[in-house]
Amino acid sequence: MPRTVLRGAHVLDTLGDAPDLRPRDLLLEGDRVEAWLEPGEAVADAEVLDVAGAVVMPGLIDAHFHPFLVDVDPSIPRERHTLAFEFDHARRALDAWLASGVTTVRSAGAHQNLDVELRGLQRSGVLRGPRIVASGYLVAMTSGLRAGNEAISVEATGPDDARRVARLQIKAGVDQVKLYTSSSVGGGGGRMMGPPGWPQLDEDEIRAVVEEADHANVPTLAHATSEIAVMQCLRAGVHCIEHATRLDDDCVALLAERDVPIVPTLAIGWSLATFGVERGFGEHIARTAAAKQAIGIASLQKAKAAGVRIAAGTDADNSRCLLREECRLLVEDAGFSPFEALHAATVVNAQVLRREGEIGGLRPGYLADLLVLDADPLSDIRHLADVRGVLQGGQVRAWRKEASAGA
Amino acid sequence: MSATVLRVARLFDGVDGSTRERAELRIEDGRLRAIGDHGTLLREGDTLVERLDLSCTPGFLDIHTHFCYPVYGDFQRPTSTPARLGMLAQGFAQAASWLHQGVTAARDVGTSFDLDIELAELIAAGSVPGPRLAPAGRMLTMTGGKRNAFDHMKDEVSGAVAARRWTREHLKRGAVVIKLYCTTLLEEDVAGYLRRALATPDGAPDPGRWASLSVEEIRAVTHEAHKLGRTVAAHTAPAFGVNLALRGGVDTVEHGSDLDTESIALFLETGATLVPTLSVSHHQIAQEDGGRADPVFREFSLRRWDRIRSNVRRAHEAGVRIATGTDPVIPGMEYRSELELLVECGLSPSAALLAATRDAAASVGLFGEALGTLEPGKHADLLLFGDDPSERIGAIRDLREVWQAGRPVPPTPDPTGVIALEARHA
């Protein structure tokens, strides 16, 4: 198997309770990290990749990504979204995420289970991008998503029906089952049937889905933006809470007790507030997003203080809404240390995907998913934007041509 | 917008098969404005592009492609969605590959789920590099004419009214060409059928159980398509099918591996084009040489190959219009071989180039109106070669530049290669 040594970098290990950043060389063999070496240590039969002066960290994981929803012009009516149009958008989005250092994405939902199909194309080597961990259709209640948005969901009423659609999803090959348990507060257009956050699937329905997922040994994740929805999900055994916009003390206590992580998706709130008008969503959406963001951050801080695990995901609708922005917002708006943000984007996300020991770290035995930066993101989280190169499974996937040794 | 003047050593403009020396072309807004001798067209403010050692021809047309043909997908379960995205991945890759081989316009003749109509939109919008594309979407065949893996590529009709209604609907879906699957072999025992065919004097596959569209059904389709300036392509193998299609008014006959005397007369009478798709037959034989084929299939392919070549020679000598189409449904095929194989069949290099340019454009209705020759008013889709391919067809392998709409086509990055990151400006 081909062996490569990454020479001359500081290597950042995020697996411990505190950052471990020191000069090391990394020996890769095949798609894995084989060993940590002393700087300059001689190795036989290995190609050398000079990364002098760089900081090498584990590839980032985006825990909340929709491959078909990035950079779609909202002025183009949905009936004009051909499959070729959607595929073209997905491949561009995957490239943008990979180029920014994201080597794995958890797809949080795709119509027609198309993320499962993208995963298949990746496995046959014809599609580049972060490794897709697929959810396929969202499981929603009957009439759950607003008119115009329902194509992304399969609908159910009653625990038997919910169980049936969960079984079909598992048979379709999803890596996890996504539940839609409360109404959305962001997004564009359409008629809102109830107040933001109104609970949708009921606890017995959620429980049926979780049972089926447990039989298949795949995790569940639930879109839950309000206190009632979060409590129902937790009581029903959901494995991860997405958005978690409104959390009361009971929610936080139960999250901590059950050790269920949350994915606050600050990036999409920031993006809608910042680019919403420019993207064509209207003033109202931008204002709502800004107000919601403040609530979400307060909930996040409460959860973090109670010891709830925090994962990092974008829910991006455009290619400026990258995972590095999520990390930056965790630091600058929510008071995380840079290490805590990076720990979320690597270690906690790997736990959420049940891939710990394989991704989210760079110790020997891990997949060689590596982000090569020009500067230390612990000193300033914004250095996540200074990408020199990206490796995935030991292969160079993105590289800056003019990057020179010691830059 | 300023004009570009392109100065070349030799120009094969595709109009009459001749080549002129020391020519230049004036290009504005993606179209040709004038053709002249060196030093006659340059005005102040124009950009001069000198290619003083290169030969220029019109961009090529491949009028028989299937860019999205499932290669990555599971062909046994082609209605599953993996096949659909796999077909698109294949379509994106093959469209780019054909463009870089000099195919600046193509006609896609039959694609499951109408994916080629979607691909054509992306190419036209500039999102995906590829030839200007005239898509057919799904094909039309007769009731009972679908076969196994091709089920989802075709709709079925019976009767002229049904055919007419279907054509109207399909034109609205965005088909720029209508593809008819005119005849289908219904033999269960294909090997047995081939053995019987091989026992006939010329090995032609006429005896057998065939289903065929009727001439009235075909005529209904051509009537509707022609009203919009769109054209009809007919897939058919046996001579009776070719003759039926020609009597029904189709614009092109695809493959046409069996032609009789009447076929040649009908081609001349109707002005229809023969698209012999030599590349796919040739490639198939080359593959079977690898020892993968049943000896009966191999024998049949070889006999058919001889027949196709003599048919092309005969048709060309009689004055039938011939156009290039590759039918690239086997992995590893390319466009350029089609011209070389035409020359093997007895066309001069210049006639082969006309089959790839003027005559292909003349076979595809309004879609081809501004394509196929380098004349004022036409799209500035052109190719630059190191040597003159009208003298020596092998020169098509020394393709130096492909221009589409008056601009050189930039290289298409490998969609699975290393992404080149931009330097970050602080």
Each residue's pLDDT tens digit, B71-125: 544 444 444 445 789 889 999 999 999 999 999 999 999 998 999 999 999 999 9
How many other CB atoms are there within 10 angstroms of residue A191's CB atom?
7
Which residue in B128, B236, B134, B238 sits closest to B176, CA to CA? Answer: B134
Name which of A52-56, A187-191, B196-200, B236-240 the model is least confident about: A187-191
Superfamily of domain A60-321 in the CATH hierarchy = Metal-dependent hydrolases (3.20.20.140)
Distances, alpha carbon A86 to alpha carbons A71, A146, A205, A281, B61, in Å: 10, 20, 31, 20, 28
**pLDDT, mean of residues A371-392:** 98
The confidence score (pLDDT) of residue B80 equals: 47
From chain B, the residues in CB contact with A128 under 8 A are 415-417, 419
* Residue A400 to chain B, least CA–CA distance (Å): 4
Beta bridge mates, A300: none
The confidence score (pLDDT) of residue A45 equals: 93
Interchain proximity B81–A112, CB inside 8 Å: yes
**pLDDT, mean of residues B64-70:** 91
Amino acid at A279: R
The Cα–Cα gap between B359 and B378 comes to 15
Which residue in A110, A59, A60 sits closest to A89, CA to CA? Answer: A110
Name the token pair of A351.
Answer: 């736990």
The confidence score (pLDDT) of residue B122 equals: 97
Interchain proximity A99–B119, CB inside 8 Å: no
3-state SS, residue B393: helix
The confidence score (pLDDT) of residue A230 equals: 97
Name the token pair of B256.
Answer: 């046409």
CATH number of B4-58+373-408: 2.30.40.10
Assess contact for A97 and A130: CB atoms under 8 A.
Answer: yes
The Cα–Cα gap between A311 and A356 comes to 13
- B5 Cβ neighbours under 8 A, 6+ residues apart: B24, B25, B26, B27, B41, B42, B46, B47, B48, B49
**pLDDT, mean of residues B278-291:** 82
The confidence score (pLDDT) of residue B291 equals: 59
Beta bridge mates, A156: A141
The confidence score (pLDDT) of residue B145 equals: 84
Name which of A398-407, B6-15, B190-199, B281-290 the model is least confident about: A398-407
Kindly indicate the confidence band of residue B271, based on its pLDDT and cuts at 50, 70 and 90. Answer: very high
pLDDT in tens, A276-332: 999 888 888 888 899 999 999 999 999 999 999 999 999 999 999 999 999 999 999
Q: Does A217 touch chain B (CB under 8 A)?
A: no
From the number of C-beta atoms within 10 Å of its C-beta (0-12, 13-18, 19+), residue B241 rates as buried
Name the token pair of A62.
Answer: 């985006």
Q: Does B238 touch chain A (CB under 8 A)?
A: no
Query: Position of tokens 């109509």?
Result: B117
From the number of C-beta atoms within 10 Å of its C-beta (0-12, 13-18, 19+), residue B271 rates as exposed
Q: Cα angle at B385 between B383 and B391, to 5 degrees?
A: 110
Kindly indicate the confidence band of residue B70, based on its pLDDT and cuts at 50, 70 and 90. Answer: confident
Phi, psi torsion values for B57, nearest 5 degrees: -130, 165
Average pLDDT, chain B: 91
Q: Does B261 touch chain A (CB under 8 A)?
A: no
Assess contact for B322 and B259: CB atoms under 8 A.
Answer: no
The Cα–Cα gap between A12 and A24 comes to 9
Name which of A104-113, B26-35, B414-423 the model is least confident about: B414-423
Q: Does A174 touch chain B (CB under 8 A)?
A: no
| pTM, full prediction | 0.91
Nearest CB neighbour to B72, from listed A95, A113, A121? A121
Assess contact for B204 and B258: CB atoms under 8 A.
Answer: yes
Kindly indicate the confidence band of residue B190, based on its pLDDT and cuts at 50, 70 and 90. Answer: confident
Interchain CB contacts (distance < 8 Å): A and B: 95
Name the token pair of B212.
Answer: 């065929």
Strands B154-157 and B139-142: parallel
Phi, psi torsion values for B141, nearest 5 degrees: -140, 180
The Cα–Cα gap between B293 and B162 comes to 40
Beta bridge mates, B420: A399
Interchain proximity B85–A99, CB inside 8 Å: no
B259: left (phi over 0), alpha (psi -120 to 50) or beta: beta
Q: Examine the pLDDT at B187 and tell me if it is beyond 90.
A: no
Q: Does A96 touch chain B (CB under 8 A)?
A: no
As annotated, the residues of chain A forming the CATH 3.20.20.140 domain(s) are 60-321
**C-alpha dihedral over B261, B262, B263, B267, to 10 degrees?**
110
From chain A, the residues in CB contact with B93 under 8 A are 126
The confidence score (pLDDT) of residue B287 equals: 77
Beta bridge mates, A395: A392
The Cα–Cα gap between B404 and B100 comes to 11
Phi, psi torsion values for B206, nearest 5 degrees: -70, -45
Q: Examine the pLDDT at B175 and tell me if it is beyond 50.
A: yes
Give me the percent of chain A exceeding a pLDDT of 70: 96
Helices (H), A79-217: 83-99, 114-123, 159-171, 203-215
A180 membership: H or E segment, kind and range: strand A177-180
User: What fold does the segment set B60-368 form as a domain?
Assistant: TIM Barrel (3.20.20)
The confidence score (pLDDT) of residue A79 equals: 86
B-proximal residues of A, 126-165, CB under 8 Å: 126-128
Name the token pair of B350.
Answer: 């210049």
* Residue B337 to chain A, least CA–CA distance (Å): 26
From chain B, the residues in CB contact with A114 under 8 A are 81, 85
**pLDDT, mean of residues B297-317:** 91
As annotated, the residues of chain A forming the CATH 2.30.40.10 domain(s) are 3-58+361-399
* Residue ranges of E strands in B186-279: 210-212, 231-236, 252-255, 273-275
Residues in chain A, overall count: 407
Q: Among all residues of chain A, which has the CA nearest to that of B113?
A: A83
**pLDDT, mean of residues A119-147:** 92
Q: Cα angle at A166 between A165 and A172, to 5 degrees?
A: 90
Q: Examine the pLDDT at A185 and tell me if it is beyond 60.
A: no
CATH number of A3-58+361-399: 2.30.40.10
pLDDT in tens, B358-406: 999 999 999 999 999 999 999 999 999 999 999 999 999 999 999 999 9
Q: Does B1 touch chain A (CB under 8 A)?
A: no
Task: Say which residue, B144 or B92, is predicted with more confidence.
Answer: B92
* Residue B328 to chain A, least CA–CA distance (Å): 19
The Cα–Cα gap between A10 and A2 comes to 23
3-state SS, residue A243: strand
The confidence score (pLDDT) of residue B151 equals: 65
Q: Examine the pLDDT at A190 and tell me if it is beyond 60.
A: no
Q: Cα angle at A355 between A351 and A361, to 5 degrees?
A: 80
- Where b means 16+ CB within 10 Å and e means fewer, A209-219 reads bbbbbeebebb
Strands B31-37 and B19-28: antiparallel
pLDDT in tens, A55-103: 999 999 999 999 999 999 989 988 899 999 999 999 999 999 999 999 9
- Collect contacts of A277-285 with beta carbons under 8 A, ≥24 apart: A279/A74, A279/A317, A279/A318, A280/A73, A280/A74, A280/A75, A280/A188, A281/A74, A281/A188, A282/A188, A285/A186, A285/A187, A285/A188
Interchain proximity B424–A128, CB inside 8 Å: no
The confidence score (pLDDT) of residue B73 equals: 40
Query: Position of tokens 């491959």?
Result: A67
Q: Does A383 touch chain B (CB under 8 A)?
A: no
Task: Say which residue, B206 or A320, is predicted with more confidence.
Answer: A320
The Cα–Cα gap between B65 and B325 comes to 7
Assess contact for A135 and A168: CB atoms under 8 A.
Answer: no
Kindly indicate the confidence band of residue B296, based on its pLDDT and cuts at 50, 70 and 90. Answer: confident
Average pLDDT, chain A: 94
Q: Among all residues of chain B, which has the CA nearest to that of A125?
A: B416
How many other CB atoms are there within 10 angstroms of residue B139's CB atom?
25
**pLDDT, mean of residues A333-343:** 98
* Residue B74 to chain A, least CA–CA distance (Å): 11
From chain A, the residues in CB contact with B419 under 8 A are 95, 98-99, 128, 390, 397-399
Q: How far is CA A164 from the centre of its chain?
A: 27
Domain-wise residue ranges, chain B: 4-58+373-408, 60-368
Nearest CB neighbour to B416, from listed A85, A99, A126? A126
pLDDT in tens, B214-224: 999 999 999 99
Phi, psi torsion values for B67, nearest 5 degrees: -60, -35
**pLDDT, mean of residues B35-59:** 97
Amino acid at A325: E
The confidence score (pLDDT) of residue A191 equals: 52
**pLDDT, mean of residues A321-347:** 98
The Cα–Cα gap between B13 and B68 comes to 31
Which residue in B64, B63, B61, B8 sits closest to B32, CA to CA? Answer: B8
Q: Does A84 touch chain B (CB under 8 A)?
A: yes
The Cα–Cα gap between A70 and A92 comes to 9
**pLDDT, mean of residues A16-31:** 97
Q: Among all residues of chain B, which has the CA nearest to that of A401?
A: B420
The confidence score (pLDDT) of residue A184 equals: 67
Kindly indicate the confidence band of residue A135, based on its pLDDT and cuts at 50, 70 and 90. Answer: very high
pLDDT in tens, B318-327: 999 999 999 9
Which residue in B188, B106, B114, B190 sits closest to B154, CA to CA? Answer: B114
Assess contact for B280 and B251: CB atoms under 8 A.
Answer: no
**C-alpha dihedral over B146, B147, B151, B156, to 10 degrees?**
0
Which residue in B65, B80, B179, B181 sits closest to B119, CA to CA? Answer: B65
The Cα–Cα gap between A8 and A37 comes to 11
**C-alpha dihedral over A207, A211, A217, A218, to 10 degrees?**
-30
Q: Among all residues of chain A, which has the CA nearest to that of B417?
A: A397
pLDDT in tens, A227-243: 999 999 999 999 999 99
Name the token pair of B371.
Answer: 């394509």
Kindly indicate the confidence band of residue A186, based on its pLDDT and cuts at 50, 70 and 90. Answer: very low
Q: Among all residues of chain A, which has the CA nearest to that of B93?
A: A126
Interchain proximity A385–B127, CB inside 8 Å: no
A9: left (phi over 0), alpha (psi -120 to 50) or beta: beta
The Cα–Cα gap between A76 and B122 comes to 14
Name the token pair of B138.
Answer: 């799904």
Q: Does B413 touch chain A (CB under 8 A)?
A: no
ipTM: 0.90
The Cα–Cα gap between A205 and A167 comes to 13
The Cα–Cα gap between A296 and A196 comes to 13
3-state SS, residue B154: strand
